[in-house]
Amino acid sequence: MELMLKYGCNPNQTPSRIYREDGGELPVTVLNGRPGYINFLDALNSWQLVKELKAATGLPAAASFKHVSPAGAAVAVPMSPELKKSCFVDDLELSPLACAYARARGADRMSSYGDWVALSDECDAQTAQLISREVSDGVIAPNYSAEALEILKTKRKGNYSVIQINPDYVPAPVEHKDVFGITFEQGRNNAVIDDALLTNFATDCKEFTPEAKRDLLVALITLKYTQSNSVCYAKDGQAIGVGAGQQSRIHCTRLAGNKADLWHLRQHPQVLGLPFRADIRRPDRDNTIDVYLSDDAEDVLADGIWQQFFTECPAPLTREEKRRYLSGITGVSLGSDAFFPFGDNIERAHRSGVSFIVQPGGSIRDDNVIETCNKYGIAMVFTGLRLFHH
């Protein structure tokens, strides 16, 4: 069985199709739209992520994928009023699954623009309603309620991609990939990520809270499906900053840390109170908030750009005010797909409120990393499990 696609990664890459080498039936059914090559890469990677999150935590899970890496991933943990407002969902009743997607989409709303959605459970009407309001390419789930499917079919003038996957499908233990006419073969990454990985403490602090254990599992499973090098900050059952595909680990840590800081700052009272004009769309609000929280905000506001978006010019949030707000953040969890080679990663993580770390260990400078964690009272475990994904 095969499914022909419009084209591959780019329009010049034809023909394009998906199929199984063993000739078996595909585990996916297209219920609406016409998903493309990159859509299916996002769909199949994101489905594995949410399936494993559900298995590890017992909670409904969702992911927001862009270019074969998660912009956000989350499980169904109730949202505070501030977080709901920062995610633009304070006007909706959210089912547990919808809550998980609101969190996943809200991790990095700039990056999630035009995302692929993955859901661990049957898509209900509340989740479909939430998806229908966002700019998105498609969704994959094990099932859809009749009402949810009708809602999704109206999106993108009826062309929104909806994929149903068989949740019982298990791929072959060996996978293949062609590069430049040469076939690569490897065993699938079937490593199970659960609490058993969170026991080998390397630091003086040797305790994780139950919430930290949950968040560290979220971080690790997110990393398992993130292009390497990768680092993930997690808080309250969701990824809040993902650094993907960087050549340097400190750049991963900085990138993900900056995103985590923005996630926190979006909930600052001054940001929640920005006087947006009523006709400003959510994507434009996201872009404006991103600029408002940048180091250039004072110059931009002085240039009069606020007139396009606000009913009145808001006061800038100064660098000192942002730093003061962020200095009160604690209890953030951090995962890395490979070892930290230097203590500078821990120094940067500490600035974003990290209290708990999970990483493979194995660097010749592990002692320096451990020493830096001990300096800040950070609890860290070594898993011995690398999670590179390419």
* Residues catalogued as catalytic: 66-67, 229, 390
Which amino acid is it at 208? F
What is the distance between the alpha carbons of residues 92 and 283, in angstroms, rounded to a whole number? 18
Residues 6+ apart with CB under 8 A from 9: 37, 38
Helix and strand numbers, DSSP H then E, in the chain: 13, 15
What is the distance between the alpha carbons of residues 148 and 125, in angstroms, rounded to a whole number? 4
SS3 at position 142: coil
What is the distance between the alpha carbons of residues 390 and 386, in angstroms, rounded to a whole number? 13
What secondary structure letter does DSSP report for 377?
A: T
What is the distance between the alpha carbons of residues 4 and 27, in angstroms, rounded to a whole number? 15
Residues 6+ apart with CB under 8 A from 101: 62, 64, 74, 117, 119, 127, 130, 131
188-194 long-range contacts, Cβ below 8 Å, gap at least 24? 189/224, 189/387, 189/389, 191/224, 191/385, 191/387, 193/52, 193/56, 193/217, 193/220, 193/221, 193/224, 193/385, 194/56
Closest by CA to 70, choosing from 221, 257, 291, 289, is 221
